[in-house]
Copies of this chain bind each other. A is one copy, B any other.
Amino acid sequence: MGSTIELSSLDKLVSDTLSGDALKEFNRIHYGRTDHHDLPIKTNNVNFDIAAYNFPAKKEETRTPRIVRVGVIQHSIAISTDKPITEQRQGIFEKIRYIIETAGDEGVNILCLQEAWSMPFAFCTREKQPWCEFAESVHNGPSSQFLKEFATKYGMVIISPILERDETHGDTIWNTAVVINELGNVIGKHRKNHIPRVGDFNESTYYFEGNTGHPVFETKFGKIAINICYGRHHPLNWLMFGINGAEIVFNPSATVAGLSEHLWGVEARNAAIANSYFTCAINRVGTEIFPNEFTSGDGKSAHREFGHFYGSSYITAPDGTRTPGLSRIRDGLLIAQLDLNLCRQIKDKWGFTMTQRLNLYAESLNNAGKHDFQPQIVKNN
């Protein structure tokens, strides 16, 4: 990919090429609505991609609209990976400070950052040092300290996915999303449930499968959950957040072109449809160069580049309509105004939670989990 000119956006390519009725039909069939319901914003002339969309719901007689504005931020790292840890992290802080403030100024109520946002995604290297030094405490680590200020200033909930150091359990490391409420208090955390062993994603070298279940955080602005990165490939993970009552599930990720780009528009969107909630898929941006060479388990030569992280963050509503993606190459802020009443309206319309037959599957999965499980096979005759 490195030597060709990167396409900035698949969505923009199509909307620049089609027009009139053809564009409307494309939008209807692909995105689920003929126009994108742009939301007016006051920000302009910024050095990052910014877009805002509206997802209204029908008026109800017995509930008032439950309007919430969510924001997601995608970004590249700030300075080279051979610089001191604290400088690298501070560089990212300074780089995204203005994007966070823009989110606050635009009235964002719930803001989510990308996976392991305060560090390079160094797990490709399989080196423990210096990368494990990026791991931080949930309550008092530098990322939480940094973000609490903005949570308080703007009265917004912030989800901060970090590399966690758990000092009270043997200095263990986890891939964790921290939830900071609108008063600046850490109200809880969720640890990544499914850990990849895929190509450069040697994450099982660093941390284990999460032990925090599928928590839903009942915030001032709605019931939210976090499905971290590779967990988006697991429909059961999405399902349990829905069963626990989530109205918005964030999917902070780090994933690269060549591996997953054609899956990106499918998985978080399918989860929104299957579970009648909103999903927000967030991917980092750019190519990261590491000090020492590493191999990717693909028979190719050792190299120092990891990427291209293709951005393309997007948001899907419970009715399956979605926003265009942010840029594939630039930092960005994606804002959406959601009426959370849409979740229950769609449950009533499609009935997926009524028709899902949970007891049947509890029994089936219980059998399937046994080592001597016998699959249901019909032989030819």
Contacts of A358 in B (CB 8 A): 365, 368-369
Interface string of A150-187 (1 = CB under 8 A from B): 00000000000000000000000000000101000101
Given known A365-B365, A378-B188, contact A209–B244 (CB-CB < 8 A): no
Residues of B within 8 A of A236 (CB): 235-236, 239, 356-357, 361
Q: Does A79 lie at the interface of the complex (its beta carbon under 8 Å from any beta carbon of B)?
A: no
Quick check: B266 and A320 within 8 Å, CB to CB?
Answer: yes
A355 touches B195 (CB 8 A): yes
Please state if B239 and A235 are interface contacts (CB–CB under 8 Å): yes
Q: Is A267 an interface residue (CB 8 A)?
A: yes
Whether B321 contacts A187 by the Cβ 8 Å rule is no
Q: Are B377 and A216 in contact (CB under 8 A)?
A: yes
B30 near A234: Cβ-Cβ < 8 Å: no
Question: B270 touching A187 by the CB < 8 A rule?
Answer: no
Q: Counting CB contacts under 8 A, is A220 at the interface? A: yes
Which of A196, A213, A240 counts the most chain B CB atoms within 10 A?
A240
* A28 proximal to B (CB < 8 A): yes
Q: How many copies does the complex hold?
A: 2
A244 touches B375 (CB 8 A): yes
CB contacts under 8 Å to B, within A177-211, are 179, 181, 185, 187-188, 193-198, 209
In the complex, what residues of B have CB within 8 A of residue A245's CB? 375, 377
Instruction: Please give 6 more A-B residue pairs, beta carbons under 8 A apart, in addition to A32-B263, A244-B376.
Output: A13-B18, A30-B265, A185-B381, A213-B364, A234-B357, A240-B368
Q: List 29 A-B contacts (CB under 8 A).
A: A7-B25, A7-B29, A10-B26, A13-B18, A14-B14, A28-B262, A33-B262, A179-B378, A187-B381, A198-B349, A215-B378, A216-B378, A218-B377, A220-B380, A230-B355, A233-B274, A236-B239, A236-B361, A240-B364, A243-B375, A244-B377, A245-B375, A263-B273, A266-B266, A270-B270, A358-B365, A361-B365, A362-B365, A365-B365
A-B pairs, top 9 by smallest CB distance, nearest first, are: A235-B235, A32-B262, A270-B270, A362-B365, A358-B369, A244-B375, A362-B366, A359-B369, A188-B378
